[in-house]
Structures are given as structure tokens and as C-alpha cells.
Amino acid sequence: EDLPLLSNVCDILIRHYNFKFECKFEEKCFNCNVILFLEPVPTESEQTCKCADGFEGTSSERNMLNSGTSSFLFILDCHQVQVNSVAEVDLSVSEVDSFKFNNLDASLHSATSSLCFQLSEWSLKIWTAKRSCKFCFPKVIKISYQTLPSCPSLLWVKDQDGKPSVFTYGAAVNNRSLFPCQEPPVAMATWEAIVNVIDSATVLMSGDNEPLISSDKGLTQFYFYTKKILPLSTLCLAIGFWQEHLVTQKYISSPKCRIFSPPSLINLAILELFEYVPYCLKIIEDMLGSYPFSRIDFLVVPPTFGSLGMASPNMIFLSQSLLVGDGSMCSRVAHEISHGWFGLLIGALDWTEEWLSEGFATFIEDCVHIWVINMNESEGNDYRELKSHIRKKILLSEVENTENVLQVMRSSKGKIDKNLVDGVEATVLKNGQNPLKGFMQVHYIKEFLSMYFRHFPYIKNIFTINDIYENWLHNSGIPEAILNSSISKNNQLFSEVVDETEKWIKLNKFLLKKLPKRKIVSYDNFSQMTPEQMILLLENLLELDLLSVQTLKCLNDFFNLKDSNPEVQHRWFELVVKHKYRNEYPALKLFLTNHLAMGVYLYGEMIFSRNATLKRIAQECFDSMESEMEPNYKKTILQMISDSA
């Protein structure tokens, strides 16, 4: 969905947020107060308030309200919140500074006078009863509000042990259903928060340090803060009933790391992360410098979480799909850690720039992973090439089934759309998925390319900056550089997959023949392979029009696919769906239930398979998980079901 930005940051900026959140698990809502510390933005023509001289402000500074009163309008971005009151808080200039970062309950401070407000679908508009401009508008205001159970910024779900939990999950609307805020890129601020929960619950948040914790009358209070100036879309919150494990800090320079998980999964999480994380951090820090944040809390999120991982300042969400016990999915951990530099420290303006941070993290994860698991140079090169080949193969397949307009990396070409939303001319981020995630923008890439061409002028004889823009960003299809790339002839991992693919194709041809006697299969000539090799083998077999039931059984038996990692299993179940292998339908159903992080592709294959049994299984899985699915997943699957009717 498109995401409108309505807050008038050209007039006033929020410099600091002071939150109080009271978590209500039974009602699936938060009772909230937020104190906003404001600062007017002067311009060359406007430096001070002139209201006393009869100054009425510019058209952008005042609005004619229904009552006919002319006053400055302060606009915040928000969506689906219930605002109870807005008031000015009486704080002197000296009190403002002493009030910040002192673990004080801002909601207890007396508010001097109520302010007028109007709540719309995408905005909260606030004004004073008397005529005002941005300079004489209150400098500190308090908003009392509640989140709604349907709040799209939060997921209220059961964890793997059946306990309630709630967390922000990178929604398309960011955090604007959790609190009113300013979302345009210039609107960066510090924040602090008090979170009250029942005694046995744990609160995790993207603050600078571990929380200050106190208890009283059956409630526990967690106090977090950040003195880093960030957009509020980077604020991350999670509350649940988890067990904690401290990761041994092997290197002094590395940030403190903790693992949080439902008790039933804590041992698996420790097994997977305890050794990998410290070495991973050390290697990335050797490449990129010190980690930009002071700590990392790794949280194993519920099975309905729709991604393998998500990085926020000081916190990383990980899917249970990564906990396979053999480290074969840990490259994703390296991927999320690397986002600390590219994705958080430097971030995308909107979804059209996500390819930069995701491309960087995807490249780095392979480089780091081969060092952590101690591959030699030759093995590492083979591994990187194989992973790149798999990604290219997937990309080619996806492009075949994707509209041209959706293949363009930067369809806007830098243009910004503006529409009238809630009566305000708003900047609109098209398809706004995780916009404004970072607090520095990647537009410097243009300056970097210019510098690169100045330093290596002879390259201009081969291609120009405009060539890069046109070939890689502004056109559909795959650039020739990728199409013409090929894997090295001496790549041992790839050669082994080619050999094994030929063996399985030959076996399948044999098993498809109608012979009078039952065929006995010998596995003597077949070889076990790494998970990455298995993925490519299964991708190759997916290209065959027909696999016999016995071939599928042999694959399952020989590779023990039920114990493979979810990446391998996903390809296996693509074969199961394509060839309607009924013996594996119970396992398919279990996979859909436990590994939503692998995406909705299998749902689509099953729903459009024209097979009543597969469609019923997909419907049953969806029905059992719908209430706790991420909204975008739910919407996508519902659309599939509707289109197939």
C-alpha cells in the first residue's frame, strides 16, 4: 500500500519523545501517554513570532478550521489509534533539559491547558484555541491515547509455548499505529520509554542500554532510552515470556549479546547462536569497523513471523526456521548483523532503495559465513559462486512471472508523488514497505559513482553513470552482466551437483518405465551433498515435467529430507506439490504451519494447483493461522484464494 507522509516537518520538528506504554495482553492494546518536545523551524523570512503584530502566518502555517478560527496546525503521522486528549505541558526551558533521560513518568506531570485536535485516518491535527504561529505554538505537549487490537503496527500472537506476546514487525505503516510521530526523513529524534507489564513478562526494546527494571504491586516497569538521533520508524518493541541466555563476550570490542527465546526453544537457540555470533561479529567488525550499536538482543519470534530475520538498533528478530542444529541457516544471522552498518546506520529512503541495503547484506553474509565455518580460499570461492548461481536461477524464474513495471528497481526515478490526504497535501511513498528505516540516506551513492569515475577516468570508455542508471535501475529485465555471468568450470561444488542431477534424471527415466517386476534401487553410486548443493539439485529436478512416485520416495529416503533445513525442505515440497506426492501431504501441512518465514510461494502453488486436496490443505493451514498472520501475508493469501475461486 502507498504510505502518505502528512506531518508538517518544515514548520516544527519533534526533538524528543517521552513514552509511557502500559501493556494489556487480554485486551490486546496499550494504554499510552507521550510527551513531545517541539522546536519550530525558522526560515530566512521567518525567525520569530509576530502574532502580537497581527501576523496571521503563511497559507502553509495556518488553516481555516470548521469553526472559522485561524490557527497554526501541528500535524502528526498516525494510523488507527484512539486519542483521548491532547494538552500543553507547563515546563520552563531549564526544566525541559532536566526532564529528559531521568526515568521520570512524564504522564504524571501536570498539563496546563487542553489543545484542540482532530483525528483522521492518516493524521492527528493539533491546534490552539487562540490564534498562533509555529513560534508561539506550545513547546511541550502531551497526548493520551490507546492502541487498537487491530493496530497494524503490532502483532499480538501466541509464542511456541502458547504464551501471549506482542512485537513490532516492520509493518508497511511503520510505528504510526503504536504512537503519533513524524515520519519524513528529516524528522529524527531521541526517545525514552517506560513500559509497564505484568511481573513475569519481559520487555525488549531498541534502546541504547539494557533497561532499568523495577517492580511494584504485581507490575514490572522497564525503562529504555536512546540518545542517538533516529527516525521513530527504527523503534522496536517486543513483550513476552522468554528465557534469557547471555552470550560469552569473546572480544572486548564486540557488543554485548543476549539470546531470548520461549523456554522450549532456548537450548536450540543457544546451540545455533552461542558460538556463531561472537565469531561472526568479530569478522564483520574486522571488515567494517566497530558495530554501530552498544548491544544486540537476539529474539526467537513466534512461527507466524513472516521473515527469517529483521534487524533494528540493538535488537534482531530471528525466525525459528533458522534453528536447525547444524548451522546451515546461520548465514542469515550474518545477514542481519551486517544490516547494523547498511540498513540501519545507512538506510533506504523508501522501498525503491531497499535493493542497496539488501544487496550489501546478501553479499556480506557469504563472505562472513565462509570465515566463521573456517573454509579455505578455494572452498570459499566455490561456496560463493554456488550461492550466486542459485540466486540467479531463482531471479530468472521470478522475472518470467513478474510484470515489467515491477522489475524496475527505481521506477520513480527520484520523483516524489504528492496527493491530497486527510485534507493535507502529503508526500506519498509508493508501495511503502519499511520506508525510512535508516537514519542516513543512500543518495550519497550518486556522489560515490561520480568520485569513482573521476578516479578511474578510463572506465568512461566502457560505460557511464547514466549507463548504470538505465541498465540497472530504470529498466525492466535482467542486465546483460548478470545474464552473461557463469560459474567457474573448476567449481567442485557445482560439478558435483551436475553429476548428481544426471544420476537422478537417469534413475527417474528408469523408474518411469513399465516393467513387470518391482524395481530395486541401489544408492551405491549416489552421494550426499551440502544443503546448498541440495537446493540446486532440487531446483534442477523441478525443471523436469514428470518425476515418478518412486523417484520422489528415493529422494526422500536417501537424503532424509525431513531433517533437512527449511531452505532445502521448501524445494522438496515444491516437488511434492508439483507431482502431487500424497505420502508427504502431512509433512507439507506441518511445514506450512512452522515455517511461514519461508514465504507464501507454496500457498500459491497449492491454491492454483487445481487439486482439491492440496487446495483444502492450504485453506486449513491458513484458517488455523489467519488470526495471527502478518496483515500483508493474510491479504496476499486471501487474494490467492479469491482469484482461484
CATH number of the domain at 37, please.
2.60.40.1730
Strands 12-24 and 189-198: parallel
Asked whether residue 325 carries a pLDDT value surpassing 70, the answer given is yes
C-alpha distances (whole Å) from 250 to each of 95, 247, 281 are: 43, 9, 10
Question: CA-CA distance, 555 to 569, in Å (whole number)?
Answer: 12
Phi, psi torsion values for 600, nearest 5 degrees: -105, 10
Strands 140-147 and 81-89: antiparallel
Whether residue 190 contacts residue 227, with contact meaning beta carbons closer than 8 Å, is answered with yes
Which tens digit of pLDDT belongs to each residue from 328-339?
A: 999 999 999 999
Lowest mean pLDDT among 404-408, 488-492, 497-501, 518-522: 404-408
456: pLDDT confidence band, cut at 50, 70 and 90? confident
Residues 6+ apart with CB under 8 A from 339: 311, 357, 361
The whole-number pLDDT of residue 433 equals 37
Q: Give pLDDT, residue 438.
A: 32
Residues 552 and 632 in one domain: yes
Are 420 and 413 in contact by the 8 Å Cβ rule? The answer is: no
Cell of residue 397, nine digits: 524464474
Judgement on whether residues 95 and 13 belong to the same structural domain of the protein: yes
561-600 confidence digits (pLDDT tens):
999 999 999 999 999 999 999 999 999 999 999 999 998 8
Q: Specify whether 469 is located in the same domain as 540.
A: no
Residues 583 and 517 placed together within one structural domain of the fold: yes
Structural domain ending residue among the three candidates 182, 210, 234: 234
Looking at every residue in the chain, the average pLDDT score rounds to: 86
CA proximity to 349, closest of 470, 431, 448:
431
On whether both 126 and 17 belong to a single domain, the answer is yes
Q: Averaged over 515-537, what is the pLDDT?
A: 87
Cα separation, 95 vs 437, whole angstroms: 32
137-194 pLDDT, tens digit each: 999 999 999 999 999 999 999 999 999 999 998 888 899 999 999 988 789 999 999 9
Residue 355 lies in a domain: no
Q: How far apart are CA 312 and CA 344, in angstroms?
A: 7
Measured between alpha carbons, how far is 566 from 47 in angstroms, rounded to an integer?
A: 60
Residue 124: the pLDDT is: 97
Instruction: Write the CA distances from 123 to 31, 424, 426, 495, 531, integer angstroms.
Output: 19, 9, 10, 58, 48
Judged against a pLDDT cut of 70, whether residue 643 lies above it is answered with: yes
Task: Tell whether 57 is covered by a domain.
Answer: no
Q: Are residues 424 and 540 in the same domain?
A: no
pLDDT interval class at 444 (50, 70, 90): very low
Q: Which of 99-103, 140-144, 219-223, 231-235 has the lowest average pLDDT?
A: 99-103
Would residue 50 count as lying in a domain?
no
Question: Does a structural domain hold residue 330?
Answer: no
**Do 123 and 26 lie in a common domain?**
yes
Would you say how long the chain is, in residues?
645
Q: pLDDT, tens digit, for every residue of 226-237?
A: 999 988 999 999
Please check whether residue 469 lies inside any domain of the structure.
yes
| Residue among 228, 146, 157, 152 nearest 433 (CA) | 152
Task: Specify if 420 maps to a domain.
Answer: yes
CB count in 10 Å sphere of residue 402: 12
Domain-embedded: residue 326: no
Instruction: Please give the DSSP secondary-structure letter assigned to residue 519.
Output: P
> Is 60 exceeded by the pLDDT of residue 448?
no
CA distance 109 to 130: 24
Q: In degrees rounded to 5, what are phi and psi of residue 524?
A: -60, -35
Which residues pair with residue 70 across a beta bridge?
A: 64
Helix (H) / strand (E) containing 593: helix 585-594
Cα separation, 306 vs 428, whole angstroms: 25
The single-letter code of the amino acid at 95 is: E
For residue 413, pLDDT over 60 is answered with no
DSSP per-residue letters across 397-426: HHHHTS-GGGG-TTTTTT--EEEEETTEEE
C-alpha cell at 632: 500483508
Q: State the virtual CA torsion across 197, 201, 207, 213 in degrees, nearest 10.
A: 70
Return the SS3 of 447. helix
Give DSSP secondary structure letters for 170-200: --TTTTTTTS-B--STT--EEEEEEEEEETT
Give the model confidence (pLDDT) of 330-379 as tens digits: 999 999 999 999 888 877 666 667 778 888 899 999 999 999 999 999 99
Residue at a domain's end among 484, 504, 528 = 484
Q: Identify whether 245 is part of a domain.
A: no
- SS3 state at 36: strand
CA–CA gap between residue 627 and residue 499 (Å, rounded): 46
Residues 129 and 15 in one domain: yes
Same domain (yes/no): 150, 206: yes
C-alpha cell at 555: 529422494
Confidence of residue 446 (pLDDT cuts 50, 70, 90): low
Strand order in the sheet with 189-198: 111-114, 81-89, 140-147, 29-40, 12-24, 189-198, 219-230, 212-216
Report how far apart, in Å, the C-alpha atoms of 71 and of each of 57, 111, 307 are. 9, 21, 45
Residue 64 has pLDDT above 50, yes or no: no
Position 420 scores a pLDDT of 61
What is the total count of domains within the chain? 3
Residue type, 195: V
Indicate if 558 and 456 belong to the same structural domain.
no
Amino acid letter, residue 316: I
Are the beta carbons of 287 and 364 closer than 8 angstroms?
yes
Residues 610 and 562 in one domain: yes
Q: What is the pLDDT of residues 270-309, one digit of tens each?
A: 999 999 999 999 999 999 999 999 999 999 999 999 899 9
35-48: string of b/e by CB count within 10 Å (b at 16+)? Answer: bbbbebeeeeebee
Give the chain's radius of gyration (CA, Å).
Answer: 27
Contact 415, 164 (CB under 8 A): no
Q: How confident is the model at residue 70 (pLDDT cuts 50, 70, 90)?
A: low
Q: Is the pLDDT of residue 620 over 60?
A: yes
- Provide the 3-class DSSP secondary structure of residue 37: strand
- Backbone φ and ψ of 457, nearest 5°: -60, -25
Cα separation of 51 and 128, whole Å?
A: 13
Burial of residue 215 (CB within 10 Å: 0-12, 13-18, 19+) is exposed
CATH number at residue 518: 1.25.40.320
Note down the domain range covering 74.
Answer: 1-42+70-234
Asked if residues 23 and 195 have their Cβ atoms less than 8 Å apart, the reply is: yes
Whether residues 456 and 522 share a domain: the answer is no
Q: How confident is the model at residue 399 (pLDDT cuts 50, 70, 90)?
A: confident
**Which of 169, 199, 234 finishes a domain?**
234
- Least confident range from 51-60, 448-457, 587-596: namely 51-60
